[in-house]
Structure 1
């Protein structure tokens, strides 16, 4: 599904190049869930952006479903995100001028894979029934994040990328949203790569890796 082979990435700073990924190897299988942990600034989001084709590595190879991401031009990478990836961030990134129903359907429509039955199921499972005509500003933070998760899963992507998806929520809402997301990911058949700093968030996933000084390893017990 997703493979990183000897991936390097550095950023320019006034003090010189800052290497955040230093020969990273990682494999994510179809339908698998993987938590990526690390301290703030360790490069977790950078790795996620590389997986999404939002950025390119300085060296190494990233393949998604057998295709090297670096061989795709920007329209090709945008097409890959539209057709095969779902993205969920700490910020909800909902379209304020669209109601909840249209926000939910947006990604599936762009991908050309709108499934009314699956959409209705998402609305019910996400606890959004009766709220379809409301606009994002009329929803609570938890409702907005559930809507963002539903939008990402509406086209049944091969891979869902989630960057601290519950970071803006209180502890109770965060736990509810996380477990609901994991259940829906399993129902959709998607693989999941989730970035978090929380062992509690990482615990329910199939695997966990920790990014430290540019290297990935199993976290210490």
Structure 2
């Protein structure tokens, strides 16, 4: 579903070139879940942005399915994000002027894959039934993050990218939201790539990788720096 082939990424800084990714190879299969871990500043978010086509590598290729993102212009990459990807962030990024029901349906409508039965199922599983006419400001942090997850999954994306999706929540709420996220990902059949600092959050996923000094390590035990 997602593949990185010998991906390099370097940024220009006042101190000189900063190499963030150095020949990264990654494969995520259909229906598989993968936790990407590493210290702050290790390049986890950069890798996620490359996976979403929000940035392009300096060298190497990123594939979504059989499509190389480098072979697409920005409108083409935007279509991939609309039709194939679901995105969940640490910040909820809900549309303040839309109520719960409309926020939930937004991505599915853009992808022209709205399924009223699946939307109703999501509302029930998200414990938001009865709050369809509420606006984001009327919801708790946990409710807003559940809604953001539901919006990302409403179109049944082939690939869900999640960047610290429980990072803004207290521990108890985070555990509840994570369990719900994994259950809904399984129900939707999506692949999942999740960035997290936490070994506890990463533990339920199928695989865990550490990003360290621009390269991926397969076993969290190999990480010699604080990784979660």
Instruction: Name the structure 2 match of 1:217.
Output: 217
Are 1:23 and 2:27 counterparts? no
- Equivalent pairs counted in the alignment come to 221
Shift of 1:55: 0.3
Give me the whole-angstrom Cα distance separating, in 2, the residues matched to 1:55 and 1:19: 15
Instruction: Name the structure 2 match of 1:162.
Output: 162
* Consecutive aligned runs of 4 or more in structure 1 exceeding 3 Å deviation: none
Query: What is the CA deviation profile of residues 16-60 of structure 1, one whole-angstrom value per residue up to 9, with x for unaligned ones?
Result: 010110100000000000000001110000000000000000000
Query: What is the CA deviation profile of residues 149-178 of structure 1, one whole-angstrom value per residue up to 9, with x for unaligned ones?
Result: 000000000000000000000000000000
Which ranges in structure 2 are unaligned for 5 or more consecutive residues? 222-228
Alignment root-mean-square deviation, CA: 0.5
Normalising by the residue count of structure 1, what TM-score does the alignment of the two structures yield? 0.99
Are 1:136 and 2:136 counterparts? yes
Instruction: Name the structure 1 match of 2:123.
Output: 123
Quick check: 2:87–2:160 contact (8 Å CA) kept in 1? yes
Instruction: Name the structure 1 match of 2:107.
Output: 107
1:9-88 aligned within 5 A: 9-88=9-88
Other structure's SS at 1:168 match = coil
Give me the whole-angstrom Cα distance separating, in 2, the residues matched to 1:165 and 1:183: 15
Give me the whole-angstrom Cα distance separating, in 2, the residues matched to 1:18 and 1:142: 36
Give me the whole-angstrom Cα distance separating, in 1, the residues matched to 2:220 and 2:96: 43
Normalising by the residue count of structure 2, what TM-score does the alignment of the two structures yield? 0.96
Shift of 1:218: 1.3
Other structure's SS at 1:87 match = strand
Shift of 1:65: 0.7
